[in-house]
Amino acid sequence: MQPLTLSLHGKVAWVTGGSRGIGRAIVLRLAAQGADVAFTYRQNIEAARQVVESVEAMGRRILPLQADVADRRQVDRTINEILNTFG
């Protein structure tokens, strides 16, 4: 079975919990497939910085946003920042 190859060039993705674990892996995979990525994280600024460095090394745009997605106001702010950054 051949692995699925999918080009995401010109696409933007938003990943919640993107600084660690599965979320981090998703951010990196989306960027590797060509997407520009916004991701939220709660507290670990250093982990978020490492994700940013990895994605920038791929030549993709990345937007880290510290937010609690359980808080509607923070979600609204996050959406606005993503739209303002990526269009």
Taking the complete model, does pTM exceed 0.85, yes or no? Answer: yes
Q: What is the pLDDT of residue 6?
A: 79
Correct CATH for 12-86 of 3.40.50.720, 3.40.50.10860, 2.130.10.10, 3.40.30.10:
3.40.50.720
Spell out the domain ranges in the chain: 12-86
Q: What is the pLDDT of residue 2?
A: 64
As a residue count, the chain comes to: 87
| Structure token pair of residue 60 | 């993709």
The sign one gets for the Cα dihedral 24, 28, 15, 81 is positive
Q: What is the pLDDT of residue 3?
A: 65
Q: Please say whether the beta carbons of 54 and 25 come within 8 A.
A: no
pLDDT digits (tens), the chain, 87 positions = 666 677 899 999 999 999 999 999 999 999 999 999 999 999 999 999 999 999 999 999 999 999 999 999 999 999 999 999 999
